[in-house]
Amino acid sequence: MAGYTDMVFRQICKQRGAGLVYTEFVSADAIVRHKARTMTYLRFEESERPVGVQIFGSDPQTVALAVELIAEKFQPDLIDLNFGCSVRKVVKKQAGAALLKDLPLLQKIAEAAVGAINLPVTAKYRMGWSPGQNVAVEVAQRLEQAGVVAITIHPRTAIEAFKKPADWKVIAAVKAAVSIPVIGNGDIKTAEDAKRMLVETGCDAVMIGRGALANPWIFQQVAELLQTGIVSTCFSPSDKVLLCLEHLQREAELVGFDHATRLMKKFYGWYFRGIPAAARIREQLVRSSDYRQTYQFLISLLK
Ligand X SMILES: Cc1cc2nc3c(=O)[nH]c(=O)nc-3n(C[C@H](O)[C@H](O)[C@H](O)COP(=O)(O)O)c2cc1C
Q: Tell me which residues are annotated as active site.
A: 85
Q: What is the DSSP letter of 130?
A: S
Least separation in angstroms between residue 213's CB and ligand X is: 8
Q: Name the one range near ligand X by CB under 6 A: 9-17, 99-107, 181-189, 218-226.
A: 181-189
Nearer residue to ligand X within complex by CB, 66 or 301: 66
- Cβ of residue 269: shortest distance to ligand X, in angstroms? 12
Q: Which of 210, 250, 265, 273 binds ligand X (CB under 6 A)?
A: 210
Between the alpha carbon of residue 239 and those of residues 25, 212, 231, 302, the distances in Å are 30, 15, 17, 9
Query: Which residues from 138-157 bind ligand X, rule CB under 6 A?
Result: 154
Question: According to CB under 6 A, which residues from 25 to 84 bind ligand X?
Answer: 25, 54, 82, 84
- Closest to ligand X by CB, 1 or 254: 1
| Cα–Cα distance for residue pair 50/35, rounded to 1 Å | 25
| Given 53, 85, 119, 203, the residue binding ligand X (CB under 6 A) | 85
Examine residue 167 and tell whether it contacts ligand X (CB under 6 A): no
Q: Is the Cβ of residue 13 or residue 301 nearer to ligand X in the bound state?
A: 13
Is residue 31 within 8 Å of residue 66, measured between CB atoms? Answer: yes
57 phi/psi in degrees, rounded to 5: -170, 170
For ligand X, the closer of residues 10 and 124 by Cβ is: 124
Give yes or no for residue 187 binding ligand X (CB under 6 A): yes
Interface residue with ligand X, options 10, 14, 108, 124 (CB under 6 A) = 124
Q: Which of residues 237-296 bind ligand X (CB under 6 A)?
A: none
Distance of alpha carbon 152 from alpha carbon 140, whole angstroms? 9
- Using the rule CB under 6 A, is 2 a contact of ligand X? yes
If DSSP codes are grouped into helix, strand and coil, which group holds residue 57?
coil
Distance CA(94)–CA(56), nearest Å, equals: 10
The candidate with the shortest Cα–Cα distance to 294, out of 272, 255, 268, is 268
Q: Where are the alpha helices (DSSP H) in the chain?
A: 7-15, 28-32, 36-41, 60-74, 88-91, 103-116, 136-146, 168-177, 191-201, 210-214, 218-228, 237-255, 257-263, 265-271, 278-287, 291-300
- The amino acid at residue 120 is P
Sole binder of ligand X in the list 122, 185, 261, 288 (CB under 6 A):
185
Is 221 a binder of ligand X (CB under 6 A)?
no
Q: Which residues bind ligand X (CB under 6 A)?
A: 1-4, 24-25, 54, 82, 84-85, 124, 154, 185-188, 208-211
